[in-house]
Amino acid sequence: MRKIRFVKDITARHFMLGIAIFTILFLLVIGFSLFFKALPIMKEKNLWVLLTSANWKPFKGDFGFLPYIISTLYVSLIAIIIALPFSILTSIFLNSYASRSIRRFFEPVVDLLSGIPPVIYGVWGTLTIVPLISNKIAPKFVDFSTGYTVLAGGIVLAIMIIPLLISIMTEVFRSIPREMTDASLSMGATKWQTVKKVILRKSFPGIIAATVLALSRAFGETMAVLMVCGNIAQIPHSFFDACYPLPALIANNYGEMLSMPSYESALMLAAFLLFIIVVLFNGISRFTLNQIEKKYQFS
């Protein structure tokens, strides 16, 4: 009887260890399998040429990723620029101004915003943002725009990353020792001065980390952006041009690529690029955030 108990314990322990190792390896497996799938195209063409050429003619064997990379960057940057002020202000509000009940009331809002599926954001974007841009905003700057633009993608994406930014930033703000803000307030500083000179300065690395994390989330977002940004393979010249980000490229061309090995390999290269960028960004910012959290725990 006694023996069985210990056998069970040891079996469970080894089983769990196996799963733990598998989880760590899983990341490497994804990376390597995407890399090997992308290898053929990298052997065929110089990687640098692939990344900097704007020529995308799969049926002639030209794979230039530049339009896609630029589109992804544009859309994500716009999203960050729009989302950042809102998130910082809201997090500060929730952290140092709002009463407990308002904070509790606001939590589900952030939860819901992050819970709404990308497709719904896409539907909403096509219903509201796209017509808004094509009818109201774009005519003031350019002659004609369909509304399916870089700007539309950026706006929709901004709303999608706001909950992530808010939830990380409130954590970061919370990690600032209370004595610090109290000291500042007792010196006669106003709340806003305290926020500006103490909280924001102290949590600067955290805010940067949160931004990088949100940026990497923005890079990978597929469906919502795909539905509002037009999907034309060109280097967008203004906010009112259509664009074609990397994830949308992968999503749109999966069906037809099977007939051509180099096409498939090129798309896998796109996925690999996305993977590497996201893993790097995530790694760096998570590391910074963990460091911040650690400091907080010991102080």
Find the binding residues for another protein in span 45-74 (CB under 8 A): none
Write down the residue that tokens 């500083």 correspond to: 189
| Binding of another protein by 16 (CB under 8 A) | yes
Q: Binding segment for another protein among 22-30, 74-82, 174-182, 199-207 (CB under 8 A)?
A: 22-30
- The CB-of-218 to another protein minimum distance in angstroms stands at 10
| Binding of another protein by 6 (CB under 8 A) | yes
In order, the DSSP letters of 146-159 are -S-SHHHHHHHHHH
| Binding of another protein by 109 (CB under 8 A) | yes
| Binding of another protein by 227 (CB under 8 A) | yes
Give burial (CB, 10 Å; 0-12/13-18/19+) of 279. middle
Rounded-to-10 torsion of CA 89, 180, 287, 294? -140
| Binding of another protein by 237 (CB under 8 A) | no
Q: Binding segment for another protein among 62-70, 109-117, 179-187, 233-241 (CB under 8 A)?
A: 109-117
Q: Give the chain's largest Cα–Cα span.
A: 83
| Binding of another protein by 79 (CB under 8 A) | no
| Binding of another protein by 92 (CB under 8 A) | yes
Would you give the DSSP letter of residue 96?
I
x/- letters, 176..205, toward another protein (CB under 8 A): ------------------------------
Q: Binding segment for another protein among 40-48, 73-81, 101-109, 174-182 (CB under 8 A)?
A: 101-109
**Closest alpha carbon to 296 in 124, 167, 139, 177:** 177
Binding footprint of another protein, residue count (CB under 8 A): 78
| Binding of another protein by 159 (CB under 8 A) | yes
Burial string for 70-85 (b: 16+ CB within 10 Å, else e) reads: bbbbbbbebbbebbbe
